[in-house]
Amino acid sequence: MISLTTATRIYLYRGACDMRKSFDGLCGIIRSELEMDPLSGSLFVFVNGNRKMVKLLYWDQDGLALWYKRLEEGKFIVPDRSGCIDRRDLTLLLEGIVPKRIEKRYVGAHLSDEKSIEKT
């Protein structure tokens, strides 16, 4: 079971990952390409080229743990940025939720109301 604390750092590998890789292969990517320590307690996220599979690799107190998910339909929506992502981004990725830009409904509406009040 994955137990994330607020101190757990989550890293997304942006390259297309060969899902045949297991513990040693993914640790090799973490060490050589991300230049990090896979035993650091961080969680590492890998997605394959067609975005139908994701693997999570993390240190679980006494050994490495690997979590794997394959979609039967659809694709994982991967955040635009690589590197450190937050828990919300990980949850959105795994649940298949598409993050959208949050915009204000009333941009500048209060300003036009104030001007009309001043004129009366």
pLDDT digits (tens, 9 = 90+) for 42-72: 999 999 999 999 999 999 889 999 999 999 9
Rg of the Cα atoms in the chain: 20
> Which secondary structure element, helix H or strand E, spans residue 90, and what is its range?
helix 87-95
Domain boundaries, the chain: 10-119
pLDDT tier at 120, thresholds 50, 70, 90? very low
* pLDDT over threshold 70, residue 23: yes
Torsion, Cα 106 112 118 120, to 10 degrees, reads -100
pLDDT digits (tens, 9 = 90+) for 74-119: 999 888 777 899 998 898 889 887 766 545 555 555 555 554 445 4
Three-state secondary-structure class, residue 19? coil
Is this structure's pTM higher than 0.75? Answer: yes
* pLDDT over threshold 60, residue 31: yes
